Amino acid sequence: MNETQSEPECANPLFLKWVGEWYSDACKRNTKTQFTLQKAYTSLQRYPLRIDNPQDAVQLQGIGQTIADRLAKKLARWQKENGITPASHQHDGGGRQEPLAECEQEAVVGGANGTRVGGARDGARDVQATQQRTAGSARIYVPRYRTGAFALLIGLYKTLCLYGPDYYIPKSELIPLCEQYTDTPFHVAGTIGGGGSHRGRGGGGGGGSHAQHTAWSGIKTLETKSMVERQGRIKFCLTEEGLAISKKVVELLRTRGELPDDDNRIFAEFETREEQQQQQQQEHQQADDGGYR
């Protein structure tokens, strides 16, 4: 792969670099694996979210168990060379290791000019710190790029920014906020009514829909992963876990230039308010601490 070609920043630069090397080698030897590796490279290049464990990469097109295992072995060698002790990990849902704590720290092709962004030693320190923070934590679910669940997280985050963290949005109002962020249509059968409501004030709304195999199916996945709460039958709200992933999704879309201006403004204003609130809390805390001296 031509690493000097201008292209969007990759969220998984190490994995992309390794797959690119394997692809180049397969091309030189003219083996059939070059076509699979090319698909794998393209999928990694386009995927906007960090993949912390190689086994999770099997969700991408072109990456099967063989490539995932190769990435896992390569990662293990890289960790050993950089003095990183891998976090305990089991493929049946045990603790998750985070080899790419901050992708910017280990980017080999960090920008359009193909320059290196971070060194191995800096990346190793960041990885080790993240592993210590997350050792023993549960697997983190990240929806695939432009799937229904991916789009629903963005729509629910926009709802939170506009109406606050306690607002449950009806399905009929949520779908229009999500449609531009998915390649799968929301073909909702039937009519859904009812306005939004706040937690603890009752709610509901009638009429479900047969939305299997559509983008709306992602809502069940998000509920299962504890990223979304439901009120009644058709009103929804982000949880803290969902909010954390939503922020990462939005930030990555922003860096890729895929966030519409209107939505970018809404998210930016919310983030500014959050920063101001955090700063005020810190100032109050410092004032309280000073009063005890």
Lowest mean pLDDT among 8-12, 35-39, 75-79, 103-107: 103-107
| Predicted local confidence at residue 207, as pLDDT | 42
Highest mean pLDDT among 4-18, 149-163, 226-240, 251-265: 149-163
Report the C-alpha gap between 73 and 35 in whole angstroms.
21
SS (H, E, C) 100-148: CCCHHHHCCCCCCCCCCCCCHHHHHHHHHHHHHHHCCCCCCCCCCCCCH
| Predicted local confidence at residue 210, as pLDDT | 44
pLDDT band of 209, cuts 50, 70, 90: very low
Mean pLDDT of 236-253: 91
Which SS3 state, helix, strand or coil, does residue 7 take? coil
pLDDT band of 211, cuts 50, 70, 90: very low
Q: 22: exposed, middle or buried (C-beta count within 10 Å: 0-12, 13-18, 19+)?
A: buried
pLDDT band of 213, cuts 50, 70, 90: confident
CB 52 within 8 A of CB 96: yes
| Partner residues linked to 238 by β-bridges | 228
pLDDT band of 134, cuts 50, 70, 90: very low
Report the C-alpha gap between 234 and 225 in whole angstroms.
18
Residue 187 clears pLDDT 90, i.e. is over it: no
